[in-house]
Amino acid sequence: MKTLYIIRHAKSSWKDLNLDDFERPLNKRGKNDAPQMSKRLKQQGIYPDIILSSPAKRAKQTAKAIAKEISYDEKIRYIEDIYEASPNTLENILHSLDDKYETVFLIGHNPGLNMLVEKYVDFEENIPTGGVVSIKFDTKEWKNISRKYAELLWFDYPKKSNKIS
């Protein structure tokens, strides 16, 4: 069984309009939300075998905040192709993972993340910044993950009142 946690980067800043999109950092709310969501994961005993992240500044900051909060000691894998990725590109990244990884955190951006979730399960919501979608795949190989083997476990985000249980 494989479990994928699709995580949209936390809220980013639009304060400096001269910054390239790739360089936009987290804003104050994002800096608070990333650790808050990490604590929710930690409280559920959810720890990744690997963290994959977009190298965009806001995604990196989110990945680092999550890693710190859950005491993830491995190296975060920053993958250029996650930035502005299509769902097919994201799926190709997942299909290429080593099968020794059972639990994966994928940190990136919309609309690609939302489209990836919709590819696997019936999902009609928008993943807000800081949101996490958990999908379980009844397969032993990442190359086989597909809608056929997918089950939506839960969806959580910073402003949600009924948090994961």
Binding residues for substrate: 58
Q: What residue numbers does the annotated binding site cover?
A: 58
The span from the CA of 34 to the CA of 120, in Å, is: 25
- Would you say 130 and 8 are in contact if contact means Cβ atoms under 8 Å apart? yes
Residue 136 makes CB contacts below 8 A (sequence gap 6+) with: 1, 2, 3, 4, 150, 151, 153
Please calculate the CA angle 124-135-85 and round it to the nearest 5 degrees: 70
